[in-house]
Structure 1
Amino acid sequence: MNKKKYKIIAIAVLVIILGITLKYYLKIFGSAVTKNAIVYVRTNGQFTDIKNSISPFVKNPENFTYVANKKKFTKPKAGRYELKKGMSMNQVVNLLRSGNQKPINVTFNNQDTVEKLAGRIAQQIEADSTSLLTAFTDSDFLTKNHLTKKSALQIYIPNQYEFYWNTSATKFRDRMLHEYNNFWNASRLEKAKKLHLTQSEVITLASIVQKETSQKSERPIVAGLYLNRLRKKWPLQADPTIIFALKEKKGHDKIYKRVLTKDLEINSPYNTYKNNGLPPTLIAMPDISSIDAVLNPTKHNYFYMCASVDKIGFHEFSKTLAQHNKNAYKYQLWVNKIGINR
């Protein structure tokens, strides 16, 4: 065999070797992810689970198995991972092995029971609603923090919080307690002290304010009105507490558009027509504007309020019962006219 043939064979072998090398190089380092995507790895998830999760977003899922085997990667870390278009399988495996996930923004507001709160949070993190509800109402946790099942909702301040998707139910709850304690800074504690209210009492009054008006501009006025009544030792006569008592009796999913005279006779510690002072616990989840409205109330001499028929969604405030009765009569005529019975 002459030198020319040796040279041709050598070149051919080299080409084959380079081709094989390139093939395996591309398996490991070539572009593999076809589009941006989010994949979730559940706690105790198996290798096959994550392979199935990424399969719709990569060119060849078997290359994932190949690279994972080469890197001795068998157990992905739980979390929410962002795949970027053009990532290689090497980068994907490294990402899942590192646990380098980005936090998500968890939000909640107006969840008026711990059951509804658990359902809302379960839509955003890995923990399911059952485990969340169990954590929220754990008797040891409640006792340690001077809470009850009825007051447990008060430590959850509506806001936006960063969490890792795979946060457990207990870690979520404990973080919320931490945020609640941080919320009660020196300034807020001092304002509560000047009002002769505890933190729980502020939250309870704020929950009534929250339910009385959806207008943030009115909330300091409403708060001031109820504080006036508390100082005078008058019953609050807050309709939202009657609705809460009715819901406790007949089910929290029932909707009440109107409080009837007969409703005011309901036998409940939450009936603020029959009982002086604040109800035993909050009746709803107040947002920060309602809490701060209680801590920064408008100073005035109002003792009565009635829904306005001239400015829907707002209220008419009055200093005397006589003026209030006029406003109430006007409102009753309007309600009857448009046919709101319950």
Structure 2
Amino acid sequence: MRLPPPFCYKITSSAYADWIPKTMPTVRRRAYFPLGCVLPVLLMVLLAIGALLAPALAARTFGAPAANLGALKTTQYAIRLLWYDGLLTEPVDAAAAERLFAIPPGTSAAEVAFRLESQGFIRSADAFSDYLVYAGLDTRLQSGEFTLSPALSPAQIAQKLQDATPERVKYVILPGWRLEEVAASLPTSGLAIFPDEFLALTANPPARPSFLPENASAEGFLLPGEYVLNRDTTGEQFLAEMLNQFDLAVGQEMRLAFDRQGLTVYQAVTLASLVQREAVQAEEQPLIASVFLNRLAIGMKLDSDPTVQYALGFDPQRGWWRVPLTLDDLKVNSPFNTYQNHGLPPAPISSPGLNALQAVAFPAQSDYFYFRARCDGSGLHVFAKTFEEHLANGCP
């Protein structure tokens, strides 16, 4: 017969009656918690603690969350950011150089994040997108060009994309401008260069290139065109960039061509500055250059109106280049007045464009000594070999 276990609470068979103690001991049952029930409870407790701590930890690392995010989403994104950790706080390459990054108008935050990752600025587009939402920056991204670097953390990159002010400025010098006109354009250019500072620097460039004679100003050597400059470019950097661009544009072939015309680089720029101011249409520049070279070859005065305009200077009503000139204007006492003086003026009178410089280097071959504006208002000129022809070309 199988014996029953001791201290059994209920015996239903009489066969076991002898085994029932006279006095039953009091038994206190222990609470039973299976391990499968304990772990979920512990996990829920840990999650609750994490949910309470995560926003504070995220705020300490990534700053305050967006005010309109709400408690639940704040906790959600805080946990995500803490999970990403180094993907948001560490740069891709601490030694990387700066590069331009463009955001076209209408680009979504998700697309910006994807392009940043694909171009190597950040490691994770997902982490970057979550940070944007957490910080409330996803709706404040600006379109434009930005100077970024993989040496910045993704959080720093996100902050830089909020500034609508471009870090680089497109600055244009127009052909035929004199230094004072360049200076006058600076206050509205976006560059932090004052006109007086610029004029002082160009009057006596601190870094004087070999093609600029001693004591000569930079007049004529600021090559016209469009320049992309950092907004914080200094006056000295600005001038150095202009002179460097001239040096690159006027290469060895052009300088040899100047020499074949019997001109130094400085003289060629001086002549080109006259050609630039005389020619309204670029296609006429080689022919106008030939007229001036023909006159120089026989010692004939150049009789160029722009040299008189330069000598007269600024007029409040008519600007720097006054038109028309009077007979008294043509008598102004100035070494720049080519109606009164033979040869080239002592210095350039404006910034000639590359076309005008090439016209002097490679002029048209002609027997012309005169030109005057056509009477049709086209801005073109009619050319003549003799003074009699020149007079006959006058307007009725």
- How far apart in 1 are the matches of 2:343 and 2:329? 19
Q: Is the 8 A contact 2:269 2:348 kept in 1?
A: yes
Q: In terms of mean alpha carbon deviation, does 269-278 or 120-129 score higher? A: 120-129
The aligned residue for residue 116 of structure 1 is 181
- How far apart in 1 are the matches of 2:111 and 2:228? 22
Q: How far apart are 1:294 and its partner, in Å?
A: 0.9
Q: How far apart are 1:175 and its partner, in Å?
A: 2.7
Q: How far apart are 1:260 and its partner, in Å?
A: 2.0
Q: How far apart are 1:170 and its partner, in Å?
A: 1.5
The aligned residue for residue 194 of structure 2 is 129
The aligned residue for residue 26 of structure 1 is 81
Q: Is the 8 A contact 2:371 2:384 kept in 1?
A: yes
The answer as to 2:267 corresponding to 1:201 is yes
Matches within 5 A, 1:203-242: 203-242=269-308
Counterpart pick for 1:11 among 43, 59, 78? 43
Q: How far apart are 1:327 and its partner, in Å?
A: 1.5
- How far apart in 1 are the matches of 2:110 and 2:222? 37
Q: Which amino acid is the alignment partner of residue 256 of structure 1?
A: R
- How far apart in 1 are the matches of 2:110 and 2:303? 59
- How far apart in 2 are the matches of 1:143 and 1:250? 35
**Structure 1: segments with no counterpart, 5+ residues:** 38-57, 64-78, 334-342
SS of the aligned residue for 2:147 comes to strand
Q: How far apart are 1:12 and its partner, in Å?
A: 1.9
Q: Deviations over 1:231-289 (max 9, x none)?
A: 01000011111121222688983552212222211111111111100111111111111
The answer as to 2:372 corresponding to 1:288 is no
Calculate the aligned-residue CA RMSD, in Å. 3.9
Q: How far apart are 1:91 and its partner, in Å?
A: 4.1
Q: Is the 8 A contact 2:314 2:321 kept in 1?
A: no
Q: Is the 8 A contact 1:122 1:132 kept in 2?
A: no
The aligned residue for residue 43 of structure 1 is none
Q: Is the 8 A contact 2:78 2:134 kept in 1?
A: no
The aligned residue for residue 73 of structure 1 is none
Q: Is the 8 A contact 2:308 2:330 kept in 1?
A: yes
- How far apart in 1 are the matches of 2:248 and 2:336? 29
Matches within 5 A, 1:1-342: 2-3=33-34, 6-16=38-48, 19=51, 20=54, 22-23=77-78, 25-26=80-81, 81=147, 89=155, 91-92=157-158, 106-110=171-175, 112-120=177-185, 123-124=188-189, 126-130=191-195, 131-138=197-204, 140-141=206-207, 145-146=212-213, 148=215, 151-247=217-313, 253-254=319-320, 256-310=322-376, 312-328=378-394, 330=395, 333=396
Residues 227, 93 of structure 1: CA spacing in aligned structure 2 closer, same or farther, 3 A cutoff? same
The aligned residue for residue 42 of structure 1 is none
Q: Is the 8 A contact 1:80 1:165 kept in 2?
A: no
Q: How far apart are 1:105 and its partner, in Å?
A: 5.1
Question: How many residues are matched?
Answer: 285
Q: Greater relative contact order (Cα 8 A, min sep 6): structure 1 or 2?
A: 1
**TM superposition score normalised by structure 2:** 0.61
Higher helix share: 1
Q: Deviations over 1:186-218 (max 9, x none)?
A: 211111111111111111111111111120110
**Structure 2: segments with no counterpart, 5+ residues:** 1-30, 59-76, 89-107, 113-131, 138-144
User: How much identity, in percent, do the aligned residues show?
Assistant: 25
Q: Deviations over 1:68-102 (max 9, x none)?
A: xxxxxxxxxxx95369xxx9525437999xxxx98
Q: In terms of mean alpha carbon deviation, does 19-28 or 168-177 score higher? A: 19-28
**Structure number with bigger Rg:** 2
Q: Is the 8 A contact 2:220 2:351 kept in 1?
A: yes
Q: Which amino acid is the alignment partner of residue 193 of structure 2?
A: D
Q: In terms of mean alpha carbon deviation, does 228-237 or 174-183 score higher? A: 174-183
Q: How far apart are 1:161 and its partner, in Å?
A: 4.0
Q: Is the 8 A contact 1:125 1:167 kept in 2?
A: no
Q: How far apart are 1:228 and its partner, in Å?
A: 0.5
SS of the aligned residue for 1:257 comes to coil
Q: Is the 8 A contact 1:204 1:278 kept in 2?
A: yes
- How far apart in 2 are the matches of 1:188 and 1:143? 17
